[in-house]
């Protein structure tokens, strides 16, 4: 379907032929797909600005082939940035922001660009500030497990580095091969280990951030306990790049577990999933490190789209349990008893258990690659909500009934152990009709059941207008006051997180 639309990113009026596809080649401009969003009163990049940037970051100013920086991982948002800046140090970030603030040039901080709510790409022509070249590890204290590094370190590289010292990162997610720790902190990423190690709010000991006016805020403490004044780092964690650009992080890293086991179980109903969860908390206790679930439609994605093989027969629901501990035989005994019990009482129909790294990786990839598998369908409407466990799967059933054959599939999976559901719908192409039938119905349903409309993905561009479904007006008003204090010119990641109303 070809649509002729007015393009708002140019000073004149240019008729552009925008092909509405969701294939990997060409994604519709965000400014075109969402015509109600108006460009703010910002400056535009001039040659003199480019010259200044080139002087500040010689050879690290990109103006060509910016598709990768302008398109999000999900291929649902495309900005029109003309400039990408790649600083190497906090000082350079400070100099850039000071300049941009003076010229009222909007910027979008970008790490690994793996965000799922369109928060890491521009909407109009904001300048991309990439942390790609800020990937140095600054220090590691092996005794306390404290790691200090720059914000552009890729999560998987940190894990490799730490494993040589028998430590591990406290956060783990499917995007680990590409995401930057700065981005993880800015979005308060959850991941599969939150059940065991808690959120980044607890594991980040300190950070260094640059404010919109270039001022460097040094909160890069490595102390486990420091109750001196307001804990500013907590504001930056989860601020999605709207209060400052995080340039360095100090992280509390746990011991790398000696013994890891993964069990993959099949069961008959969602109630069984909850029963298994209750049993695993009781019987596996402190060695439980992950508890994920998938419905059968999710397994279909793994089999059909990714050609993966299920270790067990087909069941309505699947549970992935991981245990990690310091003593292999202790954990195996616990897991063995637990599995005998759940098989014996019939809440588990079948399953497999693995301790070998290769088998563990194979089982985990069935869960971690689902987001990738969904992309094969075309366009993915991705939702990430927190719900009370009693009504948890009810949302999936409600959406399935509501959407019928309008969509290719409706699947539910995720961190059930954290009360976090990943609900995804797919269709061959983006359709406004489908989107209007999903939203706001889905968000209303979540609000009615007292859940959160975004458990861990954040608000970014796509979900900011639904913030009132989960936060009160007084809370949002206070957030806006804080934003105004940190960034009076509103140059940091505009059009994201906080709504205009």
Partner 1 sequence: MSGFRILVGCKRVIDYAVKVRVKPDKTGVVTEGVKHSMNPFDEIAVEEAVRMKEKKLASEIIAVSCGPQQCQETLRTALAMGVDRAIHVITEPKEYESMQPIHVSKILSKIATEEKADLVIVGKQAIDDDCNQTGQMTASLLDWPQATFASKIEKSNGDLSVMREIDGGLETIKVKVPAVLTSDLRLNEPRYATLPNIMKAKKKPLVTKKPSDYGVDITPRQEIVSVEDPPVRQAGQKVESVEELVTKLKEAGLV
- Residue 3's CB is within 10 A of a number of other CB atoms, namely 12
141 binds partner 1 (CB under 8 A): no
> Between residues 161 and 468, which has the closer beta carbon with respect to partner 1?
161
Task: Out of 58, 59, 68, 357, name the contact with partner 1 by CB under 8 A.
Answer: 357
Tell me how far CA of residue 33 lies from CA of 19, 243, 404, 497, in angstroms: 11, 27, 25, 18
> Between residues 333 and 481, which has the closer beta carbon with respect to partner 1?
333
CB of 299 to partner 1, least distance (A): 14
Residues in 165-184 that interact with partner 1 by CB under 8 A: none
Q: How far apart are CA 246 and CA 233, in angstroms?
A: 10
Q: How far apart are CA 400 and CA 255, in angstroms?
A: 42
CB of 258 to partner 1, least distance (A): 8
312 binds partner 1 (CB under 8 A): yes
Task: Out of 145, 182, 241, 311, name the contact with partner 1 by CB under 8 A.
Answer: 311
CB of 127 to partner 1, least distance (A): 28
216 binds partner 1 (CB under 8 A): no
> Between residues 237 and 290, which has the closer beta carbon with respect to partner 1?
290
> Between residues 21 and 362, which has the closer beta carbon with respect to partner 1?
362
Task: Out of 57, 348, 370, 498, name the contact with partner 1 by CB under 8 A.
Answer: 348
Residues in 254-283 that interact with partner 1 by CB under 8 A: 258, 264-265
Helix (H) or strand (E) holding 396: helix 394-403
Task: Out of 157, 355, 408, 452, name the contact with partner 1 by CB under 8 A.
Answer: 355
What DSSP string describes 183-211? HHHHTT---TTHHHH--HHHHEEEEEEE-
The conformation of residue 255, written as its DSSP 8-state character, comes to B
Q: How far apart are CA 450 and CA 462, in angstroms?
A: 21
Sole residue written with tokens 């370190």: 153
352 binds partner 1 (CB under 8 A): yes
Cβ–Cβ under 8 Å, residues 267 and 276 = yes
Stretch that binds partner 1, among 32-40, 309-317, 429-437, 464-472 (CB under 8 A): 309-317
Stretch that binds partner 1, among 242-250, 283-291, 340-348, 486-494 (CB under 8 A): 340-348
- Residue 313's CB is within 10 A of a number of other CB atoms, namely 8
CB of 194 to partner 1, least distance (A): 24
CB of 411 to partner 1, least distance (A): 23
Cβ–Cβ under 8 Å, residues 109 and 186 = yes
Task: Out of 123, 354, 455, 459, name the contact with partner 1 by CB under 8 A.
Answer: 354
User: End-to-end alpha-carbon separation of the chain, Å?
Assistant: 33
Stretch that binds partner 1, among 46-54, 216-224, 293-301, 356-364 (CB under 8 A): 356-364
303 binds partner 1 (CB under 8 A): no
Characterize 206-215 residue by residue with b for buried, 16 or more Cβ atoms within 10 angstroms of its Cβ, and e for exposed.
bbbbbbbbbe
Q: How far apart are CA 245 and CA 97, in angstroms?
A: 9
Of 29, 58, 27, 61, the C-alpha closest to 45 is: 61
Q: What is the longest distance spanned by two Cα atoms in the chain?
A: 74
CB of 60 to partner 1, least distance (A): 18
Interface residue list for partner 1 (CB under 8 A): 258, 264-265, 309, 311-312, 339-340, 343, 348, 350-361
């Amino acid at each position: 379907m070809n649509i002729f639309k007015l393009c708002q990113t140019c000073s004149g009026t240019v008729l552009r032929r925008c092909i509405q596809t969701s294939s990997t080649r060409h994604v519709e401009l965000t400014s075109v797909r969402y015509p109600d969003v108006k460009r703010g009163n910002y400056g535009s990049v001039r040659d003199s600005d480019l010259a200044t940037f080139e002087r500040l970051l010689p050879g690290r100013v990109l103006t060509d082939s910016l598709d990768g920086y302008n398109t999000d991982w999900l291929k649902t948002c495309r900005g029109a940035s003309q400039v990408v800046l790649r600083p190497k140090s906090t000082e350079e970030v400070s100099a850039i922001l000071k300049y941009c603030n003076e010229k009222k040039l909007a910027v979008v901080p970008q790490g690994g660009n793996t965000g799922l709510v369109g928060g890491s790409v521009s909407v109009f022509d904001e300048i991309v500030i990439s942390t790609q070249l800020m990937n140095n590890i600054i220090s590691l204290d092996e005794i306390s497990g404290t790691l200090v590094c720059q914000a552009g370190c890729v999560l998987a590289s940190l894990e490799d580095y730490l494993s040589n010292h028998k430590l591990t990162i406290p956060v783990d997610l499917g995007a680990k091969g590409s995401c930057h720790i700065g981005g993880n902190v800015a979005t308060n990423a959850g991941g599969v280990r939150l059940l065991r190690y808690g959120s980044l709010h607890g594991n980040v000991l300190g950070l260094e951030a640059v404010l919109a006016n270039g001022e460097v805020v040094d909160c890069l403490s490595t102390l486990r306990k420091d109750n001196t004044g307001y804990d500013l780092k907590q504001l930056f964690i989860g601020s999605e790049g709207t209060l400052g650009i995080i340039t360095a992080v100090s992280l509390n890293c746990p011991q790398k577990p000696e013994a890891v086991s993964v069990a993959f179980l099949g069961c008959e109903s969602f109630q069984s999933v909850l029963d298994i969860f209750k049993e695993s908390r009781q019987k596996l206790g402190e060695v439980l490190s992950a508890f994920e679930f998938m419905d059968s439609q999710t397994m279909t994605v793994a089999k059909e789209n990714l050609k993966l093989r299920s270790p067990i027969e087909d069941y309505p629901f699947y549970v992935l349990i991981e245990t990690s501990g310091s003593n292999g035989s202790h954990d195996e005994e616990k897991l063995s008893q637990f599995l005998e019990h759940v098989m014996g009482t019939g809440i588990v129909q079948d399953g497999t258990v693995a301790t070998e790294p290769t088998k563990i990786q194979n089982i985990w990839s069935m869960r971690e690659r689902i987001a990738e598998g969904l992309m094969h369908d075309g366009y993915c409407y991705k939702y990430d909500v927190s719900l009370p466990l009693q009504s948890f799967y009810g949302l999936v059933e409600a959406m399935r009934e509501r959407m019928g054959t309008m969509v290719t599939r409706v699947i539910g999976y995720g961190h059930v152990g954290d009360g976090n559901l990943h609900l995804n719908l797919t269709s061959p192409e983006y359709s406004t009709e489908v989107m209007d039938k999903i939203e706001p119905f889905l968000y209303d349903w979540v609000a009615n059941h007292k859940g959160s409309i975004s458990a861990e993905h954040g608000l970014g561009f796509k979900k900011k207008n639904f913030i009132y479904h989960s936060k009160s007006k007084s809370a949002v008003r206070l957030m806006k006051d804080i934003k105004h204090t940190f960034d009076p010119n509103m140059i940091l990641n505009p059009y994201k997180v906080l709504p205009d109303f």
